[in-house]
Amino acid sequence: MNPILDELKVFTGNGHPELAKSVCEYLDIPLGQAEVFKFANDNTFVRIHENIRQRDVFIVQPTCFPVNDNLMELLIMIDACKRASAGRITAVVPYYGYGRTDKKDQPRVPITARLVADLLTAAGADRLLTVDLHAGQIQGFFNIPVDELTTLPLLGDYFAAKEIQDLVVVAVDIGISKKARDIAEHLGAPLAIIEKRRMNNNDVSETMNVIGEVEGKTSLVFDDEIVTGGSIVNAAKALYEQGVKDVFCCVTHPVLSKDGSEIMAKSKFSEVVVTDTIPMPPEKRNGKFTILSVAPLLGEAIYRIHKGQSVGDLFK
């Protein structure tokens, strides 16, 4: 084992063990031994199978499908580590579920993203390491340090290597336009923005207008997550109506509801590039998807947090 890292421990629940293993490969350390399962009464149980007293513990667990189970596992794992006298506990949450419920924009609704922050802190997390939050302001829901990594350079470099001529980056909605602008800058391409509207709480969105010059260009549509695929597929349709010649898309988190993957398979996109912040089981994969791994990014951030080095420098 690398002697520098001998106090660092990485554990995983059932949210994304493959990613946790890849992170450990990057760090050149074994995955921490633990069992995380449900009893017959549906209660989640956790046992850490090694000594973690005073260790720097990182628990890798995206709160993706099944969201509540994965969240509860994470909370219980944090509790187990705290009671086992871990020196410091970092919740590594590559996908932060409930991130879309981040404000009171209708009467009598919760701010669940804040509630989750409180739960993680109450359970005993000392830090949060996460990737591309739905809204950066969620960082402020925590009173513990938050490191938010971004996949924009990873996605941007992938498309830069393709050397696509006449490229335009398209933000799926106004909310994502700032991040889309960063990708556009990375690629030296102009930006267009789709005006999207959600009418109510039924997961259906409506594309209103395309703002910007797209005719005759190849579009790269960007969003933070795909769930039903509705927003991004509507965007592709609107772009073809405006005369684009080809459409790619890149999205950080492949949440993908039951039909989402099939909808993307049938879509007009030439390629759908996502990352592995969320697992993509074989039934959700199809020829359209390219999956880029965030394991080196997470591994390097974990190393830097452990060593007290700058995480921001990773993106310079």
Rounded to a whole number of angstroms, the minimum distance from the CB of residue 263 to ligand R5P is 8
Among candidates 298, 244, 253, 308, which has minimal Cα distance to 134? Answer: 253
Cα gap 301→295, rounded to integer Å: 10
At residue 48, the 3 state secondary structure works out as strand
Q: Which residue, 53 or 197, has its beta carbon nearer to ligand R5P?
A: 197
Burial category of 122 from C-beta neighbours within 10 Å (exposed 0-12, middle 13-18, buried 19 and up): exposed
Segment 207-236, which members bind ligand R5P (CB under 6 A)? 223-232
Cα gap 264→166, rounded to integer Å: 24
Describe the strand order of the beta sheet including 271-275 as a list of residue ranges.
Answer: 205-211, 191-198, 167-171, 218-226, 246-254, 271-275, 289-292
Q: Which residue, 70 or 231, has its beta carbon nearer to ligand R5P?
A: 231
Rounded to a whole number of angstroms, the minimum distance from the CB of residue 190 to ligand R5P is 21
Binding flags for ligand R5P, 156-185, as an x/- string (CB under 6 A): ----------------xx-xx---------
Q: Which residue, 3 or 281, has its beta carbon nearer to ligand R5P?
A: 281
Q: Which residue, 128 or 235, has its beta carbon nearer to ligand R5P?
A: 235
Q: Name 290's Cβ contacts closer than 8 Å, sequence gap at least 6.
A: 158, 271, 272, 273, 274
Q: Which of 6, 185, 203, 215 binds ligand R5P (CB under 6 A)?
A: 203
Rounded to a whole number of angstroms, the minimum distance from the CB of residue 247 to ligand R5P is 15
Rounded to a whole number of angstroms, the minimum distance from the CB of residue 84 to ligand R5P is 37
Residues interacting with ligand R5P, by CB under 6 A? 172-173, 175-176, 203, 205, 223-232
